[in-house]
């Protein structure tokens, strides 16, 4: 059984987690369609080390994992606050 280390809940069975795709900068709300299409549909699909959003489903906790997509090795997991320190304001 493969184990992933959840920053909130500790080591848990991989089947408790959901992969949310690569961490990428979101376009500005008014950005062109092409920028949104790229963000929503296109993928780097890197063969190598990637930085991804993951969720521990039973607790709905989202965090970031670094993983090698060739070896299936999980290198590091950490809270999203390490990368996203400021609150995103969608009102404007």
Closest CB to other proteins among 43 and 86? 43
Binding other proteins by CB under 8 A: which of 10, 28, 31, 44?
Answer: 44
From candidates 26, 31, 37, 83, binder to other proteins by CB under 8 A: 37
Structure-block tokens of residue 23: 């961490």
d(CA 4, CA 33): 36
From residue 48 to residue 87, the character string flagging contacts with other proteins as x (rule: CB under 8 A) and all else as - is: ---------------------xxxx---------------
- DSSP bridge pairs for 39: none
Pair 57, 15: CB distance under 8 Å: no
């Amino acid at each position: 059984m493969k184990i992933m280390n959840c920053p909130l809940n500790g080591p848990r069975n991989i089947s408790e987690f959901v992969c949310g795709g690569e961490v990428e900068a979101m376009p500005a709300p008014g950005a062109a369609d092409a920028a949104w299409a790229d963000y929503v549909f296109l993928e780097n699909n890197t063969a190598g080390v990637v930085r991804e959003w993951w969720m521990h489903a039973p607790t709905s906790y989202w965090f970031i994992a670094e993983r090698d997509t060739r070896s299936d090795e999980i290198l590091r997991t950490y809270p999203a606050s390490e990368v996203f320190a400021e609150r995103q304001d969608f009102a404007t």
